[in-house]
Amino acid sequence: MTSVRDIIRAPHWSTDIPLDSPHLRLDVLAERGFVILTDQDPPVPDEEFRSLEYMDWKSGGDTHFAPVATADGELDCRGFWKPGDERPDKNGRFTSNAARCPTLVAHVEGVGANFGRVRVIQLEPQDYEQALRSIHRDDNNRFNPDGEGWVVRQWIELTDTPGAFMILMEQGPDGLPDPATEVHVPLYRGARFVVDTQRLWHVVCNPSATTRFALISSFESGPALDRWIRANLPAV
Ligand SMILES: [Fe+2]
């Protein structure tokens, strides 16, 4: 089987994204950097995400994004980092897409935490090796003031794509993904999870023939997000 080390070599832009910082982090993510939650039940109706306005924006493969919340409410995937108007990935404002997806909006607001960018990703199928070429870490906390909550990301899987999974790896001491730490999160309609995508290298493998859709929301770590995660952990 292909190893990430056959594909990702130094220098890589993700290596330079900070891992350590004085931001507030959640204990529930400390051990593994991700947590799987109970499923979304009932699942989000298809028309909510299929009717949105999508934009051509490449991240982690052949992707399109439908912005649901952005820095200023405009349909713009750059949003928070416009030159001259840089903002942390928080205090998101709903876009014109929001009126078409009330269940998604209710979910985001129901978490009760400060949210930043919220968007539906549309990702074309890619096999394991193709996916590894796009593995990366996110720069979620750029412009986030020291001492405030560390921004992490939450997923709701909106479609069934048989055999699909998210690949997660810790960063090794050399600044590249460490294959000894590789974990696969199964993706199916209704799956929900939170990932510290600035800490973990990540990408999705979708070997099915089906285009995948998922809601990705940025949330600020703090008591509200902690409460919501703990309220949605599966029974042991
Ligand atoms: Fe990412």
Q: How far is CA 142 from the centre of its chain?
A: 15
Amino acid, res. 89: D
Q: Which of 128, 169, 154, 140 is nearest to 232 (CA)?
A: 154
Tens of pLDDT along 82-98? 888 899 999 999 999 99
Q: Cβ distance 195 to 152 under 8 Å?
A: yes
CA of 65 to the centre of ligand 1 (A): 13
Over residues 14-72, the pLDDT tens digits come to 999 999 999 999 999 999 999 999 999 999 999 999 999 999 887 778 889 999 999 99
From ligand 1's centre to the CA of 147, what distance in Å?
23
32-71+87-231: what fold?
Jelly Rolls (2.60.120)
Q: How far is the CA of 36 from the centre of ligand 1 (A)?
A: 17
- Provide the CB-side half-sphere exposure for 228 (13 A, CA): 18
What element of type H or E holds 229? helix 223-231
Name the residue ranges covered by the structural domains of the chain: 32-71+87-231
Identity of residue 115: F
Measured in angstroms, how far is the CA atom of residue 43 from the centroid of ligand 1? 24
Please give the distance, rounded to the nearest whole angstrom, from the Cα atom of residue 214 to the centre of ligand 1: 13
- Ligand 1 mean position, distance from CA 201 (Å): 8
**Model confidence over 109-161: pLDDT tens digits?**
999 999 999 999 999 999 999 999 999 999 999 999 999 999 999 999 999 99
Residues in the chain: 236
Specify the pTM.
Answer: 0.96
What is the 17 CA–ligand 1 centroid distance (Å)?
12
Q: How far apart are CA 236 and CA 221, in angstroms?
A: 24
**Separation CA 86–CA 72 (nearest Å):** 11
Joined tokens for residue 4: 């990430």
φ/ψ of 18, rounded to 5, equals: -60, 140
Identify residues whose C-beta is under 5 A from ligand 1, the ion. 138
Residue 194 identity: V
